[in-house]
Structure 1
Amino acid sequence: MEAKKSLVNFFEGICIGCMLPAHPVKRTLYRAVTSLLSTFAALLLSIYQSTLEFHVEGENHLRILRTLQKNHIVAIWHTFVDAAVFCLHHRNLCIYSDHPRTQEYENSSVHFFREIGLKTLKALGFDVLDASLGKQSAGIINFIKKIQSGTPALVAPDGPHGPIYEAKPGVIYMAAKANSCVVPIGVGFSRRIVSSNWDDLSFPLPFSRVALVVGEPIEPSDDMSEASLARQAKALEETLDRLCFRANEILYGNHPKETTLPITNT
C-alpha cells in the first residue's frame, strides 16, 4: 500500500541514531564522552533559550488534550524543528530515532555526533524512541504503539527529504493507526539564521522573538484510501501554512497577542 510506503519513507533519516563500538572499553569511553558533551550541549541550549521571547497562541488546544488524555501528534514544518527544541521540550514529546542502514554509515563518524544529539534531546526532556537496534518497520510499529499508550509525539510532515512545505500522508496514516489527532503548530522568528539544507532549517538568533500558533486538533478520517489520505495531507499542509502566516502577523502585525512568556512547565 502506498500509504505504508509513505510512512516508512516519512521516517527515513528523521532523527538521531548511534552505533556503539564493539570493544567494551571503547564502548564505555564512547558513552562517557557523548554523555558529557550532551550535558554541556543541553546546558548551552537552556541558556540560549532564556534569551528568547516567546509568544504563544492557542495553548488551550494542548491543555484540553492533556486534560482529556487524548492521544495526539504535534506537526511542525521541518524548517522549524529547531523551535520545537526550545519551545516544546517540557511536554514529554516522543521523537522517532533511527540511522541509515548502510555500511558507509556504519564506518563513518556521523553516528558519534548523532549520539550526542540523541542524548541532548533526552536531557532536554524529549522521549526518543531509538529504532536503530532493530528493523525499521518494527521501530515504526513501536512508535505507533507508544502514541497509542498515551505518549504525545512530534513529527515533521514534510520530512525527511522534502519537498519543503509539502505534507506527506504518512502523518495522517500514523495518526489514524494510533487513534490520535494531529495538532498543527505554526512558527515564526523575528530574527533567524537559515541553513542551506533542503528544508531551510532556521535558528532564532539570541534575544529574538519566537511566535507559536497552536491550531485546532485534526481528527483523521476513517477513510484510509490513498485519495483520502492525500486530501487530508493537503488540508494539513494548508493549515500549517495558515498558522505560520498567523505567527508572522503576531511578530510583525498589529494583531493582539494571546500569550507572551518564556515557556514554563505546565
Structure 2
Amino acid sequence: MKKIKTYFIYLFALILVLVINITLRLQVFGNDKLEELKAEGKSLIFTFWHGKMLVPIYYFRRKGYYGLASQSRDGEYISRVLQKLGWKVVRGSTSKGSVKSLLKLIKTLRKGNHIAITPDGPRGPRHKTKPGTVYLAKKSNSVIIPVGVALSKRKVINSWDRFHLPYLFAKAVLFFGEAVEIESDINQSEIEKKVAKVDKHLMEAEEEAKQLLNR
C-alpha cells in the first residue's frame, strides 16, 4: 500500500507540473550570460527558492542537469518527478551533516556538470541560503547563478516555504541574476558573507523578475 500511495502521489505531482507549465506564458531573461560562463569552462549552480521550484524544474528539463532531493518522503516524490523530466538526482541536502551528498555534488561539478538546488530547502528557514551552497561552489570552482521567478496569478500554499502554485495560462518570468563567484581560499567568516550575498542576489533576481512581468 505504501508503494501504491507513493506512486499515485508522484503521478499526480508529475501531471500537475506538466499541465501547469505547458499552459504557462513563460518569458526568460538573462540567459545569454550563461553561455559565456559555460564557454569559460565554468560549472554552474542554479539557485531558486524552494517555494518557487515548479517553473524552474520544468524549464531545466532534459538538459542533463543534476538536482538535489532530500531523503524524506517528500524528497522521494520530487526525485521521481525530476528523473521523469530528464534530471539526474542526488539524494540528500545542503544542511549541516549532509557530507555524503555534498561530496557527490562536488565531484559532479568538477566533471563539468551543472546542478540546480533550492538553497533554503528542504525545510527552511524560508529564503535563507544554507552555507552548503557556498561550500559547493568553493570546493568545485563553480559559479552560483540566482534565478528569480515571478507569476501573474498563483495560489500560495500555507506551507513553510509559502509554495507558489501557478494558475493555468498565467504569465511567468524567469530571470537569471548576477553570478556569485566564490574564491577557493575563503575562510569561514568570508563564507558567511558570501551566503548573505547569495541571499541578496536571489532577492534582487526575484524583484527583477517581478518588474519584467509587470512591463
Question: TM-score band, normalised by the shorter chain?
Answer: 0.7 to 0.9
Task: Classify 1:206/1:198 alpha carbon distance in 2 versus 1 (closer, same or farther; 3 Å).
Answer: same
Q: Within the alignment, does 1:234 sit opposite 2:206 as a pair?
A: no
Cα distance per residue 1:133-177 (max 9 Å; x no partner): xx9532321121111112211112222332222223221111111
Counterpart pick for 2:165 among 179, 185, 203: 203
Taking the aligned partners of 1:60 and 1:69, their CA distance within structure 2 comes to 15
Amino acid at match of 2:88: D
Task: Classify 1:161/1:130 alpha carbon distance in 2 versus 1 (closer, same or farther; 3 Å).
Answer: closer
Corresponding position of 1:46: 18
Contact 2:69–2:75 (8 Å) recurs in 1: no
Corresponding position of 1:129: 90
> Which structure 1 residue ranges, 4+ long, deviate > 6 Å from structure 2?
none
Counterpart pick for 2:79 among 118, 128, 140: 118
Tell me how far 1:69 sits from its aligned partner. 3.7
Corresponding position of 2:51: 79
Taking the aligned partners of 1:246 and 1:63, their CA distance within structure 2 comes to 20
**Equivalences, count:** 211
Counterpart pick for 1:212 among 158, 164, 174: 174
- The structure number with the bigger radius of gyration is 1
Amino acid at match of 2:99: S
Taking the aligned partners of 1:55 and 1:230, their CA distance within structure 2 comes to 33
State percent identity of aligned pairs.
Answer: 26
Task: Classify 1:82/1:43 alpha carbon distance in 2 versus 1 (closer, same or farther; 3 Å).
Answer: closer
Corresponding position of 1:18: none
Corresponding position of 2:139: 177
Amino acid at match of 1:87: Y
**Structure 1-normalised TM-score?**
0.70
Unaligned regions of 5+ residues in structure 2, if any?
A: none
Cα distance per residue 1:68-103 (max 9 Å; x no partner): 442110011222112222222233221123425xxx
Which of the pair has the greater relative contact order for Cα pairs under 8 Å at 6+ separation? 1
Counterpart pick for 1:89 among 56, 61, 66: 61
SS of 2:27's partner is: strand
Task: Classify 1:234/1:117 alpha carbon distance in 2 versus 1 (closer, same or farther; 3 Å).
Answer: closer
**Structure 2-normalised TM-score?**
0.85
Corresponding position of 1:60: 32
Deviates further, 56-65 or 89-98: 89-98
SS of 1:91's partner is: coil
Amino acid at match of 1:85: I
Tell me how far 1:224 sits from its aligned partner. 2.6
SS of 2:53's partner is: helix
Task: Classify 1:38/1:127 alpha carbon distance in 2 versus 1 (closer, same or farther; 3 Å).
Answer: same
Corresponding position of 1:162: 124
Task: Classify 1:235/1:98 alpha carbon distance in 2 versus 1 (closer, same or farther; 3 Å).
Answer: closer
Matches within 5 A, 1:21-40: 30=3, 34=7, 38=10
Cα distance per residue 1:172-199 (max 9 Å; x no partner): 1111111211111111111111111121
Task: Classify 1:55/1:200 alpha carbon distance in 2 versus 1 (closer, same or farther; 3 Å).
Answer: same
Taking the aligned partners of 1:168 and 1:130, their CA distance within structure 2 comes to 17
Measured on the aligned residues, the alpha-carbon RMSD in Å equals: 2.7
Contact 1:61–1:216 (8 Å) recurs in 2: no
Counterpart pick for 2:115 among 153, 158, 161: 153
